[in-house]
Amino acid sequence: MGFKAFYKKFFALKDKPKQEEMKKYLLVGLGNIGAKYENTRHNIGFEVLDTLAKKQEVLFESAKLGAITKFRFKGRVYILLKPSTFMNLSGKAVRYWLTKEKIPTENLLVICDDLSLPIGTLRIKPKGGAGGHNGLQNIQDLLGSSIYPRLRFGIGDKFSKGRQSDFVLGEWKDSERKIINKRIEKAAEAILSFGTAGLNNTMNAYNGNAVT
C-alpha cells in the first residue's frame, strides 16, 4: 500500500465515528411507567416501541431517566427510549439523551397518543404545538422549541364531558384492540422509514386513517 492510499484509509477510519453520529436517531415513546398503565390509551408510545424492539430482537434496559435499547438498521443507529419520568416530565429524559448521544432534534421522533385523531390514525409532522398533551408540552418547554418531528397516534375521543383523564388513562376495549394492533405494527414500520427514507417520504407513505 502506497503512502497516499495509507493516508486516505487512515483518516477515513478516524472520521468514521463522526459519520456514525450523523446517522443516529432517537425514538421516544411517551407513556407512564407501572403495571397499572400498561394497557392504557396514554401508553401507546410505549407499545409502539415495544413492538419495534421485539421485531428487531432487542431488549430494553434500565438507564438514566428511562428504559433504553438500540439497534442498527440499514446503516442507521436507532436508539429507543421509554422515559421513566412519567408523562408530564418526559422532556427531562428527551433532553438528556439528545445531549448524551449528540443527536440533533431533526433526528428525534416522539410517539404519543392524540385525542383529536380518530382511533388508529397516524399523523407524522415535522413540528407543531402540544395540543393539550402534557408530555409534548414538557418536551417543548425543556427543548425551548416545538420544532421536532412527532408521530401522533389517534386514540379517538369517545368520552363524556369532564372524563378526558379517565379516558386516556383507561384501558383499550377488546373491540378497539382489533384496530390498534395493526396500526401499532404500521407505526413501527414508520419509525424505520423515518431513519431510512426521511421525514417527508415517511409522512407521504404512512399518514392516514385506520381501515375499520
Query: What is the DSSP code string of 64-122?
Result: TTEEEEEEEETTEEEEEEEESS-GGGHHHHHHHHHHHHT--GGGEEEEEEETTS-TT-E
- Is residue 119's pLDDT more than 80? yes
Give SS3 for 150.
strand
Q: Which stretch of 2-16, 73-87, 139-153 has the lowest confidence by average pLDDT? A: 2-16
> In percent, how much of the chain has pLDDT > 90?
82
The class level of CATH for 22-206 reads: alpha beta
Task: Please give the residue that has the higher pLDDT: either 63 or 164.
Answer: 63
pLDDT at residue 19 greater than cutoff 50? no
pTM: 0.87
Domains of the chain, by residue range, sit at 22-206
| Average pLDDT of span 108-136 | 95
pLDDT of residue 49: 98
Known catalytic residues are 42
In the predicted structure, residue 145 carries a pLDDT above the cut 60 = yes
